Structure 1
Amino acid sequence: MDFSCVQDCSQCCIEREYYPSKKFGKIGVLIMPEERERIHALAKTHDLDVTILPRIGISYESDGPTEVMAYQMMGIEENGNTCPFLDTESGKKSPHGGFPCMIYEQRPLACKAYPVSDTDPIKLDPKCKFCQNHGNTSSNLANEAEALIKIKVRMSTDAPVIWRYATGVGDEVDRSAIQKGWIMES
Structure 2
Amino acid sequence: MEFSCVKDCSQCCIEREYYPSKKYGKIGVLILPDEKPRIESLAKKYGIEISIIPRIGTSNDLAEHKTILAYQMMGRDQNGNTCPFLETESESRSPHGGFTCKIYNQRPLACRAYPLIETNPITLDQKCKFCQTCSTADSNLNSEIESLIQIKNQMSQPHAILWRYATGTGNKEDESTIQKGWIRQ
| Global fold match (TM > 0.5) | yes
Is the 1:57–1:65 contact (alpha carbons within 8 Å) kept by the matching residues of 2? Answer: no
In structure 2, runs of 5+ residues without a counterpart are none
The match for 1:179 is: 179
SS of the residue aligned with 1:63? Answer: coil
The match for 1:95 is: 95
SS of the residue aligned with 1:33? Answer: coil
Q: Is 1:57–2:67 an aligned residue pair?
A: no
Give me the whole-angstrom Cα distance separating, in 1, the residues matched to 2:64 and 2:12: 32
Give me the whole-angstrom Cα distance separating, in 2, the residues matched to 1:64 and 1:86: 37
The match for 1:15 is: 15
TM-score by length of 2: 0.98
Give me the whole-angstrom Cα distance separating, in 1, the residues matched to 2:135 and 2:40: 36
Deviations 1:103-148 (A, max 9, x none): 0000000000000000011000000000011113333101001100
Change (3 A) 1:6 1:47: same
Is the 1:65–1:163 contact (alpha carbons within 8 Å) kept by the matching residues of 2? Answer: no
In structure 1, runs of 5+ residues without a counterpart are none
How many residue pairs get aligned? The number is 185
Give me the whole-angstrom Cα distance separating, in 1, the residues matched to 2:161 and 2:42: 33
Give me the whole-angstrom Cα distance separating, in 1, the residues matched to 2:65 and 2:142: 34
For residues 101-120 of structure 1, the aligned pairs below 5 Å read 101-120=101-120
Moved over 6 A (4+): none
The match for 2:143 is: 143
Query: What is the root-mean-square deviation in Å for CA atoms of aligned residues?
Result: 0.9
Is the 1:55–1:165 contact (alpha carbons within 8 Å) kept by the matching residues of 2? Answer: yes
Give me the whole-angstrom Cα distance separating, in 1, the residues matched to 2:45 and 2:91: 20
The match for 2:81 is: 81
SS of the residue aligned with 1:110? Answer: helix
TM-score by length of 1: 0.97
